[in-house]
Structure 1
Amino acid sequence: MLQKDLLKITKWAFAAAVLIWMIGWLMLIPEDLSAQIAAVAAEAVKTGRLSEDTGISAPVLWLSVEAMKLFGINQLSLHIPGFLAVLFGLFCTYRLGRVLYGPESAVLSVLVLTTAQATFVVNNELGDAAYLAACYAFIMWQINSYLKDKRIHNLLFSLAGVVGLTFLKSTFPYEVHQWPSDPLLTLVVTFSPWTIFLILGLIELVQRVIVPEHDETSKKALVCLLSVTMPFIFAYVNPFRTTMDVYMAYPVAAVVTGGFIIGRLKSDPESFSGLLAYVHAVAAYAALALLFCLVWFTFPADNYYGLIHFMALLSVLTWLIFFLRVRNKLIVGCVVFAIGANLVLTTYFYPNIYEYQAPAKLGILARAKGVPQNRLFSYQAGAPYSLRFYSGVQVMEVNDFGKLVGMKNCFVYTHQHLLGEFRAIRPDLEIVGSCEEYPRRILDFRFLDPNKRAAYVTSKVLIKL
């Protein structure tokens, strides 16, 4: 009965999660590593060679190029390889959970990983996090299968996975990540809404290692602990880590969480209806309060649209917690919260944030205007990758103002405050569009304050000479 219920919940949760992931694929690509992958891959498809030496992992770039060759040069094509990597990671997570804990825990592990906040974030990006997690889950599956059955082919497959993992992370960005967030803090936030269960599961594993009941139980607990710990050690010693490098540990963390929950449901079902249930309900409403602040205060012009989604989530969750009689209420509540919260974020909050992506939006305008190849210039504004990708042409930096204003039939991407200088010499210029830009990848909470936002954005303009 439990396995049948879990399968039903997992199917519906997976379908809803995939829908939200696909909605996220329609959002603008932000000016970060994702934009670099998009621009370089698109140019490689057009020219047949890499236009520049990058720090992008070669397999990730190759997969992006091949996807564009198959499905066309567009941002949806770029998400297909990562989506397939996530699916493979979920399959390996299921197999690992089945080896370590059994079929019921395996199904729940897939549900946990599918609805973890980090999985929604990773599906919106084009980096290597999904590939690393899939490779690592495959390695752990094969190693644990070898420890259980002593079949040599499992050991060989695990070594092949290690080689793949090495190739995926063989190159690094040229500079330290702008926001080297703490891996443990990242885990606490992005493993929600399952973080509490993961912590309890890890505590239980430590207890089994310290006070073993059986040798096999102790060995399995030690392997699980090491499997979760290794990616964090890697993240802490890596000077070039990115925020989502720790996602590599999430498949094993999902297995630990699934094993803990199923173990408690079988041995002591009432343990999830007491203090733990109340703590989780309080945490859920605290998260809802934060979500309300993001919806209501950050973007007042559109907050009624976001508020509709929020109130629907609040109503469903309250009805589920206090009034609905259903089996496995805590699991269902976590799934409903994860899906509902990410629906609000993906349809309302993220799109409003991406309104401040000037290079991407002006690149779209440049393409619509039919910008010719080698006629898009940047003056004192860099050569953003998202501008290159969305315009479909190379962006050339020119710092010689006199040379630039003497050109004809060209487009110039520059700062809004420099517009007067161009207009003084070229009154015939055409303003194609202007947009505000928030240049930092991770949000500064002061930017979320509408009254202070102007101090943290810059204005860019695209002109035609």
Structure 2
Amino acid sequence: MIQHYKYYLLWLIILMVYLLGWRIDLMDVDAAQYASISKEMTINKSYLQIFDLGRDYLDKPPLLFWITSFFMTIFGTSDVVYRFVNLIFALIAIFSTYQFAKKYYAPPIPYYASLILGTCQALFLITHDCRTDTMLMGWVMLSVWLFSEALSNKKITYYIFAFAAMAGGLMTKGPIAIAIVIFAFGGYFLYRKKWNYLFKWQYLVGILTIGILIIPMCIGLYLQFDLHPEKILYKQSEISGLKFFFWTQSFGRITGESTWSEHGNFFFLLQNMVWSYAPWILFFLAGWLIKLKQIVKKSAIEEITFFGFTLTYIALAMSRYQLPHYIFVVFPFASIITAEAIHEIRKKTRIERISKFTKFYTFFYIFNFIIVSALWLLIPIIHFYVFPLNWSLIFALLLIVFLIVVLLKRVSLPTFIKHSLVTLLTINVFLSTWFYPNLLQYQLGSNVGKYLKSNNRNATDFFTYKIDVSHSFVFYSNILPKNIEKSEEVDLGNWILTDQNGFKELEQKGLILKILKSGLHTAVTTLNIEWLNKNTRFQNSSQYFLVEVTGKLINS
């Protein structure tokens, strides 16, 4: 059993590692875009109709922006506030995972499940590079836990809160939130032949709850898009905002109605789980097979997690448009499956010392040990190949490893889990304090945006020329810049952001320029080996110049 106070202390360390990621700037594209939209909503107070840099926005539902805007109104429009909102929902997902597992499994499985979810690589990533998936995960797992409580104690309040959480998920990323709950419990009802659970009068109350809660979103969509068929988005006119959210955005990717298409491989999401669900992926795969065997033999403790993960995966994998983070929403299910597997493997290993079962799963222990140990190679690889370390950071990392090891020695956990935790915590401390800060030096938007804000520049005296600015630029600078086409459009004292070719052209047109800031930039979320190599980085980067117009040649 894990001692409670030591367990809380361990979670405090995990939380501190999450917070280390808040030191870095928001990364383009998604995180910076959603923060920028929330900030724009806070400033313009346009809550029903959503705008992105002054243009109509029709992609994600509004709840993330509403909640973030609410907090920004109280605490200010900073990246910390934006990340705080996402952290809350990450913790809701972890807490709900624990509560759901506690309902069906004896200790230590609930502890393991929450710990596995909280320390998979995806959670360290999405608590600083925040997307809608963090909030979606929280709403979905909260609704799954509350719905399971409603089924067992039959209190109408649990049904209302469960369906309210589904409405939250619906307004975060669309119908997929409700579909996941249906997959999880629908599969369970059919498997157990609980026909009377398929239709309950409480479901009508729940549907009414969802209907009431989504009214503001529907009104906003209707006013912004359905009333204006002349608006053109995605190169189409007569777009219905209501149809887009309730059908095209989700189911249209399967039917082909949606024009978006990327990564259609059925195993794409599983392949990306190798890194996003590290270091637990091998034990999850073993757990899924164990669970499948139990379901075939009708010996499973519960089947909700199996159907929730498996049917959702199939639905997502059928989509023509997939991104690695789409699978994150079912990681709570995966974590419970993984926790049960680890417990079963340890229990059977103790009982059946020389069985085939023990020999088979000893392979997983050894292979997991090799993989986790190999993760330590990331640090020397990054040191020699990407961003050389300094001695102070090396000393700090060694100290952190020592402190984590001392703590974990006092916590009752399997040795391989301790090994995995030490590795993941140390790696993410390293990423947040060294890799990401160095990487973000190459993000044009946040670097130039902060520079402009510190020098009190505004949109009246700042322009861009032959270079695009990102959402991180707008978020950190508070400037929506005007792009100039001709040198005659600027006056003395104006600041211009341009690229290398643009800089040469402005000089050729007779402008006398003073370089205020320059550097290399790249898309920091789509890196390649050539860019990571410090010896070939320059050739694979673009150059930017922030200049001040100090004069004009008379003969220009």
**What TM-score, normalized to structure 1?**
0.87
* Per-residue CA distance 1:204-243 (angstroms, 9 max, x = gap): 1001011224xxx37x23x221111233234324444433
Tell me, yes or no, if structure 1 residue 281 matches structure 2 residue 366. Answer: no
Taking a change above 3 Å as real, the CA distance of residues 153 and 10 of structure 1, as seen in their structure-2 partners, is same
* Per-residue CA distance 1:251-305 (angstroms, 9 max, x = gap): 11111122222334445447699544332221222222244312332123x3555
Give the match for residue 67 of structure 1.
Answer: 71
Of 38, 49, 57, the match for 1:41: 38
Q: Is the 8 A contact 2:2 2:413 kept in 1?
A: no
CA deviation after TM superposition for structure 1 residue 248, in Å: 0.3
Of 472, 487, 497, the match for 1:402: 487
Higher mean C-alpha displacement, 348-357 vs 269-278: 269-278
Taking a change above 3 Å as real, the CA distance of residues 230 and 291 of structure 1, as seen in their structure-2 partners, is farther
Tell me, yes or no, if structure 1 residue 432 matches structure 2 residue 516. Answer: yes
Give the match for residue 188 of structure 1.
Answer: 274
Structure 1 CA distance for aligned equivalents of residues 296 and 15 of structure 2: 40
Higher mean C-alpha displacement, 417-426 vs 80-89: 417-426
Structure 2 CA distance for aligned equivalents of residues 360 and 426 of structure 1: 30
Specify the SS of the correspondent of 2:532.
coil
* Per-residue CA distance 1:305-363 (angstroms, 9 max, x = gap): 55446666788999999x99976222222211111111111111111111110121011
Give the match for residue 52 of structure 1.
Answer: 55
* Per-residue CA distance 1:27-62 (angstroms, 9 max, x = gap): 011220111122222233233334332224311111
Tell me, yes or no, if structure 1 residue 14 matches structure 2 residue 11. Answer: yes
Unpaired runs of at least 5, structure 1: none
Specify the SS of the correspondent of 2:464.
strand
Taking a change above 3 Å as real, the CA distance of residues 451 and 343 of structure 1, as seen in their structure-2 partners, is same
Structure 1 CA distance for aligned equivalents of residues 387 and 84 of structure 2: 31
CA deviation after TM superposition for structure 1 residue 159, in Å: 3.0
Tell me, yes or no, if structure 1 residue 328 matches structure 2 residue 414. Answer: yes
What's the C-alpha RMSD, in Å, of the aligned pairs?
Answer: 3.1
1:11-410 counterparts in 2 under 5 A?
Answer: 11-49=8-46, 50=51, 51-54=54-57, 55-170=59-174, 171=245, 176=260, 182-213=268-299, 217=300, 220-221=302-303, 223-269=304-350, 274-300=362-388, 302=389, 304=391, 307-308=394-395, 328-398=414-484, 400-404=485-489, 406-410=490-494
Taking a change above 3 Å as real, the CA distance of residues 92 and 361 of structure 1, as seen in their structure-2 partners, is same
Higher mean C-alpha displacement, 228-237 vs 132-141: 228-237
Unpaired runs of at least 5, structure 2: 175-244, 251-257, 550-556
Of 491, 498, 504, the match for 1:420: 504
Aligned-pair identity (%): 18
Of 472, 495, 509, the match for 1:411: 495
Taking a change above 3 Å as real, the CA distance of residues 52 and 365 of structure 1, as seen in their structure-2 partners, is same
Tell me, yes or no, if structure 1 residue 456 matches structure 2 residue 533. Answer: no
Higher mean C-alpha displacement, 328-337 vs 81-90: 328-337
CA deviation after TM superposition for structure 1 residue 411, in Å: 2.1
Structure 2 CA distance for aligned equivalents of residues 156 and 201 of structure 1: 33
Q: Is the 8 A contact 1:17 1:115 kept in 2?
A: yes
Q: Is the 8 A contact 1:235 1:241 kept in 2?
A: yes
Higher mean C-alpha displacement, 419-428 vs 131-140: 419-428
CA deviation after TM superposition for structure 1 residue 453, in Å: 1.4
Specify the SS of the correspondent of 1:297.
helix
Structure 2 CA distance for aligned equivalents of residues 408 and 178 of structure 1: 46
Taking a change above 3 Å as real, the CA distance of residues 274 and 33 of structure 1, as seen in their structure-2 partners, is closer
**What TM-score, normalized to structure 2?**
0.74
Q: Is the 8 A contact 1:365 1:432 kept in 2?
A: no
Q: Is the 8 A contact 2:117 2:123 kept in 1?
A: yes
